[in-house]
Structure 1
Amino acid sequence: MKAQIIKLDTALYFALYKPKRGPWFKWLMLMLSKSGNGGLYVVLALLNGYFMGKVGVTFFQTVLLAFAIERPLYFVLKNHFARVRPCDCLAVKAMLTPSDKFSLPSGHSAGAWLYATCLMEVYPVLTIPLIVWAMGVSLSRVLVGVHYPIDVIIGALMGSGCAVLAIGILGEL
């Protein structure tokens, strides 16, 4: 069963990753990927905390708790699975250089879905754009060649799950 999942995941990777796409596509995927680097989360959470009063402070605390749960889990799982990135084992060149050598789970996907889930709780009117953005960050990680599809799916589930847990612990935003 495990071998079949890995075979399917690899086939999906090759169906999605096409390094010969046009420059506009590469630029868009790199920008989506970079939007999930993490620095933006800190700035936006601080701005929310400062400008949105009590709701903003609660939002900041929730994001902080969610990341305090997610980051250690991410590092434990990353080192436990130790799945080599597709760009390092399938003789394909990625569009960017990843920050580490393992791919499962995707930290960018986890962070994007964690942050989007917390923001959706505060700003439900932004649900659709936030889902599109988080999906874009996740998909971009496959399309730039540094993750398999399962990596980003597990990252997305982990990130949104950590956000829901933090919201549950601290109460509704």
Structure 2
Amino acid sequence: MKSKLAQLDTALYFKVFTPSPKHWWRLIALGLSKSGNGGLYVLLALLCAVFLEQLGQLFALTTVLAFAMERPIYFYVKNRIARVRPCDCFAQKALLTPSDKFSLPSGHSAGAWLYATCLSEHLPILSIPLVIWAIGVSLSRVVVGVHYPLDVIVGALMGVGCASLAIGIVGTL
């Protein structure tokens, strides 16, 4: 079972990853990937807390709590599983240099889905664009060559799970 899953994951990776510099979606993928680096999360949370008053403060509290749960889980799982990145397994070079050496789970996917889930809870009108953005960030990590599809799926599930738990906790306060 594990072997078939790994084979499927690798086959999907090569369907999405494109080493040719002529593909327009590589540029879009690089931009989406950078948008999930984390600095945007802090800035937007601070702006919401200042300008959206109580709603923004609840969003910021929920997001901080969700990240406080997600980050330790992410680091534990990533270092425990220690899955080598596709860009380190195959001859094709990634379009960017990853910040660490392991791929499962995708921290960018976890962060994007966590943030999108928390912000959608407090500003539901933004739900559709946020989901599209989170999908884009996740997919971009495969397109640029630093993650397998399973990495981003596990990251997304982790992000949504931690955000949902934080939303539940803050909702009881």
Q: State the TM-score bracket (shorter-chain normalisation).
A: over 0.9
Distance 1:45 1:66 in 2: 13
Query: Which residue is 2:108 aligned to?
Result: 108
Indicate the SS of the match to 2:95.
coil
CA drift at 1:40: 0.2
**Partners of 1:26 and 1:54 in 2: how far apart?**
39
1:84-95 equivalences under 5 Å are: 84-95=84-95
Aligned length: 173
Q: Deviations over 1:111-131 (max 9, x none)?
A: 000000011111111111111
Once the two structures are TM-superposed, the CA of residue 18 in structure 1 deviates from its matched residue by: 1.1
Q: CA RMSD in A?
A: 1.3
The DSSP-based 3-state class of the residue aligned with 1:131 is: helix
Counting aligned pairs with the same residue, the percent is 67
- How far apart are residue 92 of structure 1 and its match? 1.4
**SS of equivalent to 1:97:** coil
Runs of 4+ in 1 over 6 A off after TM superposition: none
Can you give the 5+ residue segments of structure 1 that lack an aligned partner in the other structure? none
Please, what TM-score do these two structures have when normalized by structure 1? 0.97
TM-score (norm 2): 0.97
Separation of aligned partners in 2, 1:159 and 1:172: 20
Could you tell me which runs of 5 or more consecutive residues in structure 2 were left unpaired when the two chains were aligned. none
Tell me the amino acid that sits aligned with residue 104 of structure 1.
L
Q: Does 1:99 align with 2:99?
A: yes
| Equivalent position of 2:80 in the other structure | 80
Amino acid at match of 1:65: L
